[in-house]
Structure 1
Amino acid sequence: MSVLDSNAVDMAEATVSQGGGMARASRPLTLSIAAVERDTGLSKDTLRAWERRYGFPAPQRDRHGERAYPLEQVEKLRTVKRLLDAGHRPGRIVSLPSEDLQRLAASMPDQRPPVPGRALAVTPSDLQPYLDRLRAHDIVGLRRALARGLARAGLGRFVVEVAAPLATVVGEAWVRGDLEVYQEHALTESLQSVLRHALAALPEPEAGARPRVLLTTFPGEPHGLGLLMAEATLAIEGAACVSLGVQTPLWDIVLAAEAYRADVVAIGFTASVNPNHILDGLAELRAKLPATTALWAGGVLPLLQRHAVEGVDAMPTLDALVAAVHAWRAARR
């Protein structure tokens, strides 16, 4: 969840009169429209339009007369956003009760593409020890368990067989309402901590190692776990990686690609980004990069299958990323 600051959350207690006495009544926890936009990925204009058209969301007003959204409405909006990303139309789902939305979300088929050419040994029971610690709020135990899993499997297998499926399972549990947002964030931070430590322990790439890969996300895409997993996969393959972290402005990506002499620019996406922004951004970035610089997009295979962007290669899985590295090298022998 977004950081709840004094502008987004009203936790003040209201003083009310009861028969000459004074009592304290807590106001419900609410978020401002700006906080809801950040937290759900739904624009302010969309929220206002739905309010007029469908009667939901139905915000309260704070003491300044600004919209204030109760947390239960924000939770419903998150579920609506996930269903929209899966192809549902707003007119059919926005006005549905939360229970119906949860049932729809729970019935969604698994959208994860298979990992080509590899039968994963991971099962739900393999992930259960991590989930148990997460549910018990034992973050220290969770990080120790992840570190032990990394030591047993090695970085490459850990990313594919533990980190990636665990992040997916936790994300799906949040959509169903089985986990809270803060628990998903706690897992993400724990995984990122373990992966960064493992990356720091890898030997530096050889002098002149190629391809040189620049990794980042577009503005509006705050999720960096997939980016970190991609960096780990590339580093194991001996690529020279430069990560800019998340939310880099497009023109700065172009400048960085030139400065670091990148052979490849790799952009990561999740379902939180508007599909039109993805397609427009990729087309603009492709036009601004040199023709000799490859552009790889992670996490958007279904979108690029429907709306291909010339000169952009989709990387739906980590194995696809490995195959792309090998193909890049083979083409330059």
Structure 2
Amino acid sequence: MQITLSIGSVERETGLTKDTLRVWERRYGFPQPGRDDTGERAYTIEQVDKLRLLKRLLDRGHRPGKIIAHDIETLRRLAEETPASAGVADDGVEDRQDLLHYIALCKAYRFDEMRRALSQDLLRLGMYRFVVDVIAPMNTLVGVRWASGYFSVFEEHLYTESIQVLMRNAIASIPLPSPDAVPRPRVLLTTFPQEQHGLGLLMAEAIFALEGARCISLGVQTPIEEIVKAAESQKADIVALSFAASMNGNQMAEGVRDLRARLPDAIEIWAGGACAALHRRPPPELRVLELSEIRPALGDWRSRLEPSGSA
């Protein structure tokens, strides 16, 4: 029996909206989904793999009408030849033998061995360097291989779950501030309803916690109204959002505008991730940061409190 995905699942997996998928179907003849028992569109894994590649190439400046007729191997070669968008560059990670070793372990399903080796890296490097120099670039490698079809959906999910377990355990080991300290800022971490990837949140949470911030994590796919309620009830100073490469840029921008309109002015919105639109057309309502920029950004935030005498 052939495995198929619904149009909603394809939207989540690729970052292409349902409207885009329907328009391409009419205009270009791809994708051509079948129908399930209820008459709803059903997309094959092969179609989803090609759609992921198309989304990656769109993020890098290609036009759908020029590339959509290419077969998947041609698209993979084109993806390899096209430079990454600003903010998601590979930065030489393809030459990192340590990262390639972890990729090989992942592909061989040797996840216990991978986690043990990563745990040794964590002890050797410390949390900050581990997140910035190991986990972040390795996620870039996995993302590129997932988009090109080297990793299947379930293999990418297995990788993500393994890293999430490792990161949660590492975050739990970070000492809490002393009882008489007032940890500032209070940072609420989450993603929008369309964003199901939470690894970026965990990496950001680790750095925030290391820097003495009070982290309140809602996990992923939180409705905007609930983000607002949580931010107000938890007296958050900052709402931190993560957007993966598969996040649709229009949905990201619209959600940010909606959130900014509902949040009190005093609560800032910070965001990061590999979403191309986040770096190419950053919404003015938020502050876009790389993981390595969180530490100085917190210093800047705290310095702005000093004139008012806030703790």
TM-score (norm 2): 0.88
Contact 1:120–1:161 (8 Å) recurs in 2: no
Aligned to 2:218: 244
TM-aligned CA distance change 1:120 to 1:66, over 3 Å: closer
Structure number, greater radius of gyration: 1
TM-aligned CA distance change 1:153 to 1:121, over 3 Å: farther
1:133 aligns with 2:105: yes
TM-aligned CA distance change 1:67 to 1:57, over 3 Å: same
Aligned to 1:21: none
Give the superposition deviation at 1:300: 6.6
Give the superposition deviation at 1:54: 1.0
Aligned to 1:188: 160
Q: Which protein has the bigger helix share?
A: 2
TM-aligned CA distance change 1:110 to 1:129, over 3 Å: same
1:92 aligns with 2:66: yes
Letter in 1 for 2:132: V
TM-aligned CA distance change 1:170 to 1:295, over 3 Å: same
TM-score (norm 1): 0.83
Contact 2:12–2:196 (8 Å) recurs in 1: no
1:156 aligns with 2:96: no
1:1-333 pair list within 5 angstroms? 11=1, 28-62=2-36, 65-111=39-85, 113=87, 124-206=96-178, 207-299=181-273, 303=277, 307-315=281-289, 317-333=290-306
Letter in 1 for 2:77: R
Contact 1:41–1:272 (8 Å) recurs in 2: yes
Secondary structure at the counterpart of residue 331 of structure 1:
helix
TM-aligned CA distance change 1:332 to 1:300, over 3 Å: farther
Letter in 1 for 2:286: V
Letter in 2 for 1:171: G
Any gaps of 5 or more consecutive residues in structure 1? 1-10, 12-27
* Higher deviation after alignment, 227-236 or 276-285: 276-285
Letter in 2 for 1:204: L
Deviation string, structure 1 residues 67-114 (Cα, Å, up to 9, x no partner): 332221221111112222223222122222212211111112134649
Contact 1:213–1:266 (8 Å) recurs in 2: yes
RMSD value, Cα: 2.5
Letter in 2 for 1:284: D
Deviation string, structure 1 residues 174-217 (Cα, Å, up to 9, x no partner): 22333323222222111111110011111123441101111111
* Higher deviation after alignment, 188-197 or 202-211: 202-211
Rounded to whole Å, the distance in 2 between the matches of 1:158 and 1:295 is 25
TM-aligned CA distance change 1:244 to 1:157, over 3 Å: same
Give the superposition deviation at 1:277: 1.7
Give the superposition deviation at 1:143: 1.4
Contact 1:105–1:175 (8 Å) recurs in 2: no
Structure number with higher relative contact order (C-alpha < 8 Å, ≥ 6 residues apart):
2
Q: Sequence identity, in percent?
A: 51
Rounded to whole Å, the distance in 1 between the matches of 2:279 and 2:161 is 31
Letter in 2 for 1:43: T
Rounded to whole Å, the distance in 1 between the matches of 2:111 and 2:160 is 11
TM-aligned CA distance change 1:111 to 1:31, over 3 Å: same
Contact 2:53–2:75 (8 Å) recurs in 1: yes
Rounded to whole Å, the distance in 2 between the matches of 1:30 and 1:238 is 46
Contact 1:50–1:56 (8 Å) recurs in 2: yes
TM-aligned CA distance change 1:114 to 1:302, over 3 Å: closer
Give the superposition deviation at 1:298: 1.2
TM-aligned CA distance change 1:194 to 1:304, over 3 Å: closer
TM-aligned CA distance change 1:308 to 1:63, over 3 Å: closer
Rounded to whole Å, the distance in 2 between the matches of 1:70 and 1:78 is 13
How many residues are aligned here?
303
Rounded to whole Å, the distance in 2 between the matches of 1:122 and 1:174 is 14
Rounded to whole Å, the distance in 1 between the matches of 2:45 and 2:93 is 39
Rounded to whole Å, the distance in 1 between the matches of 2:193 and 2:230 is 15
Rounded to whole Å, the distance in 2 between the matches of 1:79 and 1:322 is 34
TM-aligned CA distance change 1:32 to 1:297, over 3 Å: closer
